[in-house]
Amino acid sequence: MLVRILRPWLIVASLCLMPMLGSASTQVEALLQEAEGVRSSNPKRFQQLLSQLNVQRQQATLKQREQLDFLNAYAQVFAGHYEVAIQDSRRLLESSSDVEMQFRTGALMVNSYALLRQFAEGLRQLDQTLSLIDRVKNPELRQNGLGVAALLYNQIGQYKLGLYYADQILAQKVPERTLCFAGQARLESLQNLDALPADSSIIQVIDKCVEQGEKAVANFARGTLARKWEAQGQRGKAILMLQNHLAEVQSTRYPRLIGEIESLLAELMLAEGDMAGAEAHAQAAIAERASLANSPPLVMAYKTMYELAERRHDPVAALSHYRNFARADKAYLNDVKARELAYQIVRHETQQKTQQIELLNRQNQVLQLQQRVDRQATQNTRLVVVLLVMLLTVIGYWAYRIKRRQSSLRRMAETDALTGICNRHYFTLQSTQTLARCAQIGDQAALVMFDLDHFKAINDSYGHITGDWVLERVADTCKALCRRVDHLGRLGGEEFAILIHGYDSASAMRLAEDCRVRIASIDTRESGHVFTVTASFGVSGTPLSGYDLAKLLSHADQMLYRAKREGRNRVCAFTGEVPLTPQPTITSEALDTLHS
């Protein structure tokens, strides 16, 4: 989460000292260096210095003016004017011949793109910026370039890459201020990888940031520590720590930090039974919603308000808060998908460009060969062309007919005739191939399996035409939630499955819950009857079930039956525990005979 770690560190370290040219230039230099020193720790003083420098711009050298332009762009980022910051940074990047200034400005653009949620552009700019790192002599600038990479990869959910770059920085001799930012980047990676270090290591990062006056980064680290204490059962200790530093958090005027800590306090206090305190902190977090779009703090704040209303037996307020929670959670999940898609797009772009260049070279060679043939066969060209056109026309016509026939047969072989989604055989084939790729590259995958509740009763009560209508609506509903890389298939009867690429079990649970809610919301009046459609879901993931499709299906099927036993219309995830009533293992040979 790049935004969580603050803008300042992504805007790489300051330029080397500029030569002093006269008293006016010397005064400008002193102001510039002071502004560099306080730009993240004392925003008010930074703005004062920036105003003073802009007045004295004409007295500055070319290098000083470039540094001033950079600081002005930085101020636009800090004020939330990200598009303006990108435009100003691009002008500076194109006009400056200083490699270190180009490197620094490129990092600022990466930050701005990330804040605008334009992750693909941010990744492209990061590649261009890091290509300059070997030409940058300032070690602190190089370290901060690695920091940009660590934080951006954390932002798009590639925490292993984020940890790799953070460790590269911390393996070097770095300034105390860099230890603060790099340490927090590393904590964020480890937190999302469920591998947080001992409390003392987290406290050490907090102390480093406090020493450097980086209040915002220190309090993000405190939030990480509070989460760890909560997991250890020390909720009261976590609440006390956060409350003791709440005034400091609010003094930063950083909306994302305020929303993060306020929503965390609300969640902890609700768990402790302090409903008044939980409500006050949740409302404080929601007050920052303009700056918290698509973020977990806003989701948790709305969820806390919903749970408070539930406890107070206020269904009207509960419904209102639940709608806000559902919208915020959906926006956050969509944002997560967008980040993953951006990463996949940029990761393959280089390979695609190489393939395109190779293809163009081959096409050029074919054209050159054709020209030589044409020159050598000038006398026979007309007859050859006529015959060739006739032959190509006939071949093209039959190729077109055959291609259409093949496409039609392929669709029939791969598609369920009723619902239009993958049939059992094609779902098995596609899922097996996807799991094999995931196993090779170390990506996670998850399987969601669900079965419509009391479907036989629908067929018996309203007829098979109505039953078919229900199956079509369910397939359409779930298809709308799937990405192009996911596989949705009908296994047989009223049983469906979704293989999700790149999701862990928690994310798959959220997707399954979204499917469950939408299925339960299907309006059946269009069928000519009024009844309720619900489904029971089972979820399994590769961390516990491995990359074998049969085992994933078996574990998901066990969880589906558990959901049935526990009352239907719910989602159960496989946790590695043996179910109370063992279910038969689904083998690869049994996949072709699987029925609902």
Q: Which residues are annotated as catalytic?
A: 494
DSSP-derived secondary structure for 177-240: HHHHHHHHHHHHHHHHTT----HHHHHHHHHHHHHTT-HHHHHHHHHHHHHHHHHTT-HHHHHH
Reading phi first (left if > 0) and then psi (alpha if -120 to 50, else beta), residue 139 is in alpha
Half-sphere exposure of 339 (CA within 13 A, CB side): 24
- Residue 152: name the closest of 310, 315, 312, 346 by CA: 346
**Cα gap 198→224, rounded to integer Å:** 12
The DSSP element (H or E) to which 536 belongs, if any, is strand 535-541
Cα dist from 500 to 111, 347, 504, 552, whole Å: 30, 19, 9, 12
If one counts every other C-beta atom within 10 angstroms of the C-beta of residue 161, the result is 17
- Residue 158: name the closest of 183, 192, 133, 129 by CA: 192
74 touches 105 (CB < 8 A):
no
**Cα gap 442→504, rounded to integer Å:** 12
| Burial of 465 from C-beta contacts in 10 A (0-12 / 13-18 / 19+) | exposed
If one counts every other C-beta atom within 10 angstroms of the C-beta of residue 38, the result is 16
* 446: β partners: 500, 541
Residue 580 backbone phi and psi in degrees, to 5: -60, -40
